[in-house]
Structure 1
Amino acid sequence: MSRVKRGVTAHAKHKKVFKAAKGFYGRRKNTIRIAKQAVEKSMQYAYRDRKNKKRVFRALWIQRLNAAVRLHGLTYSRFIDGLGKAGIEIDRKVLSEMAIHEPAAFAAYVERAKASLPAQAA
């Protein structure tokens, strides 16, 4: 039986790892054993942070909405409650963008939300 020379396969595998490790510091970019560990860990971080990114952005939209709605004399929670009672189904991302770029349209949403809320006891 003839012997199998694996140099080509190994080189291809290493090339793939080194390509993913491009830009890393020190031996993490050019030593296969360390680069492999670094790339594996970076993939774990990437997977985790794709989930975290969604949370972070939602929190940002909520903060922006709270700030924008307070200018109209409401709080964020009462605004969202009012939208729900008014039957308006629009997500926080769009509302946040609207508050920044189209204040007049956003003000109309705030007024509709206010109208659907019961009068506040003072």
Structure 2
Amino acid sequence: MARVKRGVTSHAKHKKTLEAATGFYGRRKNTIRAAKAAVDRSMQYATRDRRVKKRVFRALWIQRLNAAVRELGLTYSRFIDGLAKAGVEIDRKVLSELAISQPEAFKAIVEQAKSALATAG
């Protein structure tokens, strides 16, 4: 039985790692040892930041909504409470887009929330 030489598979693995390291700075882009460590770490960052991105965007939508409803005489927490009491189930992403692109429609939703707050207590 002929012996198996592993040059082809090693070269393929190295090539894959170095392609993933394109754009990195210094030896991290062209030395296999440094590139492997850098690519492994970058994958960890990518995994973590896919989850962080969701938090960051939600925080952005909340800040936009807070600014928009304060112009109309409410706070964010009272607005969300009013929406819940009015039975409006529009998520924060859509609400923030409405506040930016269609202020008159957003104002109507805020008025709904205000009236629900007034009738509830």
Identity %: 76
How far apart, CA to CA, are the structure 2 residues paired with 1:31 and 1:6?
19
What secondary structure, in the 3-state scheme, does the structure 1 residue paired with 2:73 have? Answer: coil
Instruction: State the number of aligned residues.
Output: 120
Q: Unaligned 5+ residue runs, structure 2?
A: none
Alignment-derived partner of residue 99 in structure 1: 99
1:3 Cα deviation after fit: 1.4
Render the CA deviation track for 1:57-88: whole Å, top value 9, x for unaligned.
00000000000000100000000000000000
Render the CA deviation track for 1:69-120: whole Å, top value 9, x for unaligned.
001000000000000000000100000000000000000000000000037x
Alignment-derived partner of residue 18 in structure 2: 18
Render the CA deviation track for 1:1-47: whole Å, top value 9, x for unaligned.
32111111111000110111000001100010110000000000000
What secondary structure, in the 3-state scheme, does the structure 2 residue paired with 1:117 have? Answer: helix
What secondary structure, in the 3-state scheme, does the structure 2 residue paired with 1:109 have? Answer: helix
Task: State the TM-score, normalized to the length of structure 1.
Answer: 0.95
Which residue identity lines up with residue 42 of structure 1 in the other structure? S
How far apart, CA to CA, are the structure 1 residues paired with 2:15 and 2:107?
56
Stretches of 4+ aligned residues off by more than 2 angstroms: none
Alignment-derived partner of residue 116 in structure 1: 116
How far apart, CA to CA, are the structure 2 residues paired with 1:79 and 1:20?
46
Alignment-derived partner of residue 54 in structure 1: 54
Alignment-derived partner of residue 34 in structure 2: 34
How far apart, CA to CA, are the structure 1 residues paired with 2:97 and 2:110?
14
1:71 aligns with 2:71: yes
What secondary structure, in the 3-state scheme, does the structure 2 residue paired with 1:14 have? Answer: helix
Task: State the TM-score, normalized to the length of structure 2.
Answer: 0.96
